[in-house]
Amino acid sequence: MSCPKLYNVLQGRMSLVGPRPHAMDHNEYYKDVIEDYMQRHRVKPGMTGWAQVHGWRGNTEQLQDMKKRVEYDLYYIDNWSLGLDLKILIMTLAKGFINQKP
């Protein structure tokens, strides 16, 4: 885990679990290309998330990659629970930060 991100969690600007933040230029581009893309911003960004533990992390080489990431992010937001957060944290520790897409 990155110390600057952990510092942001401690300051309350980020959460341990939530949709991973994207660069501003990605937000500008994808908001017009992927329906409900900006719904990811209803919650604080996280250090790890549902999309990441399912392999939808890192560079998005195709539009479909970002669509899947957003799909998983929205699933997390719509189904949030303490249990889901704990599951994601355990999956993050078990899988590490390996970039393996399904």
Angle (CA) 49 46 57, round 5°: 45
**Three-state DSSP class for residue 15:** strand
The DSSP code sequence of 67-100 is: HHHHHHHHHHHHT--HHHHHHHHHHHHHHTT---
pLDDT at 19: 96
Give 61-66 contacts, CB < 8 A, sequence gap 24+: 63/33, 63/34, 65/101, 66/30, 66/34
Spatial contact of 43 and 15, defined as CB atoms under 8 Å apart = yes
d(CA 86, CA 5): 19
What is the per-residue pLDDT across 25-37, written as a single tens digit (0 to 9) for each?
999 999 999 999 9
What is the per-residue pLDDT across 42-76, written as a single tens digit (0 to 9) for each?
999 999 999 999 999 888 889 999 999 999 999 99
